[in-house]
């Protein structure tokens, strides 16, 4: 795929450049609680603006129902982008139509505009090719060139990700080029030992990537809510912990295959349990108890890996040459259940190898828990996209950027 450096060498002064970014940031009302994804696209936007392009930034945010919804407006993200650029950023109250057209027409060379949430138009996410294509046609009218830089959306066959690049000269932005380069280090030329830490709530979200990793990784560490399905598959009682009963046969098969393939598939040896899920707003004490995984009391929920598991996982990461981590080890948003996730993050920092934090809640945890982002090898902006890449799937947004 062609990159933004090739575009810049061709010259962009006076050209309208459509940048498909990922500004899908978490909001508390209109307050952005984590601006990592906005900061990630700044190098691409700034390079284009500095070269004299008229930059049109577009993104989705949340899951509106194909119609305008003030709760999902990109206005706060546009304001934050302007702060990070140190320049005024115009904001169009529509994605296409009069507001978008007039806002883009009003740009001078080197100026930036953000158009409203792409998902306010049903054509963005439609499964009907014609409806998506019609929306892509309207987006194409806003620009002369397309730059894909929203890595967190490249696994979606959406109009602005898949259909629009076919209608304009297209290039990969700095973020996508970096993300793809990192993921190739995890698939094509892996330095070993290769250790993967997987957490998060549902084992069903990770089955396909575990399937692939059983032939590639040296060790797989399991945490988060998904761990209790693994424990149940091993014959342990898990109380009222999150459990996907229908996934137990698949997990049992993976445990057997891991042993056969010589892959260490490591599950918790102890866990923090409580009678009920913690109050996430008040952050009142959860009064957890630490128990061995073969002694989880009936009626209690497992909410984090325990201290012995933290030590075990740190030891399994200590000699890693390559590490991929996706998914927290527990309910890290509550201080009583953050230690497992902290321990894995710290183990990545202590590891001598190349460390990749696989986006999503893992990336949020790194920032929420106060770690230095620059100390990790790479923090991805797209958890779902990263996982699908590692599963070996063709990602529509990357395929659309190929020539």
162 half-sphere exposure, CB direction, 13 A CA radius: 22
Q: Are 174 and 46 in contact (CB under 8 A)?
A: no
Give me the count of residues in the chain: 403
Q: How far apart are CA 130 and CA 111, in angstroms?
A: 33
Q: Is 66 a catalytic residue?
A: no
Q: Is 232 a catalytic residue?
A: no
Q: Is the N-terminal amide bond of 193 cis, ω within 30° of 0?
A: yes
Of the listed 37, 54, 219, 316, which one is catalytic? 37
Of the listed 202, 216, 311, 367, which one is catalytic? 202
Contacts with 343 (C-beta within 8 Å, 6 or more apart), sequence order = 305, 310, 313, 314, 329
Of the listed 148, 225, 286, 384, which one is catalytic? 384
Helix runs in 51-162, H state only = 75-85, 98-105, 129-140
Q: Are 19 and 149 in contact (CB under 8 A)?
A: yes
Of the listed 360, 382, 383, 397, which one is catalytic? 360
Please report, for residues 44, 175, 226, the alpha-carbon distance to residue 149 in angstroms, rounded to integers and kept in the order given.
Answer: 8, 6, 31
Host H or E run for residue 227: helix 227-233
Q: Is 384 a catalytic residue?
A: yes
Q: Are 217 and 343 in contact (CB under 8 A)?
A: no
What are phi and psi for residue 379, nearest 5 degrees?
Answer: -115, 115
Q: Annotated catalytic sites, by residue? A: 37, 202, 360, 384
């Amino acid at each position: 795929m062609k990159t933004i450096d090739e575009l810049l060498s061709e010259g962009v002064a006076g050209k309208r450049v459509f940048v498909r970014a990922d500004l899908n940031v978490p909001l508390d009302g209109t307050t952005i609680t984590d601006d990592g994804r906005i900061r990630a696209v700044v190098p691409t936007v700034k390079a284009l603006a500095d070269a004299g392009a008229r930059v049109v930034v577009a993104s989705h945010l949340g899951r509106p129902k194909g119609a305008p919804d003030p709760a999902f407006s990109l206005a706060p993200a546009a304001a934050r982008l302007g702060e990070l650029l140190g320049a005024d950023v115009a904001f169009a109250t529509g994605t296409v139509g009069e507001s978008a057209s007039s806002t883009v027409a009003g740009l001078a060379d080197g100026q930036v505009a953000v158009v409203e949430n792409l998902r306010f138009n049903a054509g963005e996410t439609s499964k009907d090719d014609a409806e998506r294509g019609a929306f892509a046609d309207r987006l194409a009218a806003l620009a002369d060139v397309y730059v894909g830089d929203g890595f967190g959306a490249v696994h979606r066959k959406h109009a602005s990700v898949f259909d629009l690049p076919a209608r304009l000269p297209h290039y990969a932005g700095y973020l996508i080029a970096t993300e793809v380069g990192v993921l190739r280090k995890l698939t094509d030329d892996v330095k070993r030992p290769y250790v993967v830490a997987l957490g998060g709530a549902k084992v069903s979200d990770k089955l396909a990537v575990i399937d692939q990793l059983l032939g590639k990784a040296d060790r797989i560490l399991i945490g988060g809510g998904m761990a209790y399905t693994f424990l149940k598959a091993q014959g342990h009682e898990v109380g009222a912990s999150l459990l996907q009963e229908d996934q137990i046969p698949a997990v049992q098969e993976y445990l057997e295959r891991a042993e056969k393939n010589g892959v260490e598939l490591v599950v918790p040896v102890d866990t923090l349990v409580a009678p009920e899920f913690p109050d996430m707003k008040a952050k009142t004490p959860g009064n957890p108890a630490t128990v061995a995984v073969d002694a989880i009391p009936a009626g209690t929920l497992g909410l984090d890996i325990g201290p012995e598991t933290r030590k075990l996982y740190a030891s399994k990461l200590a000699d890693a040459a390559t590490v991929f981590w996706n998914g927290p080890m527990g309910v890290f948003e509550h201080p009583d259940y953050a230690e497992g996730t902290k321990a894995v993050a710290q183990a990545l920092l202590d590891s001598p190898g190349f460390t990749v934090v696989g986006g999503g809640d893992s990336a949020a945890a790194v920032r929420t828990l106060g770690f230095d982002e620059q100390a990790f090898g790479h923090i991805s902006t797209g958890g779902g996209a990263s996982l699908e890449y590692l599963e070996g799937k063709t990602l529509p947004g990357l395929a659309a950027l190929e020539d």
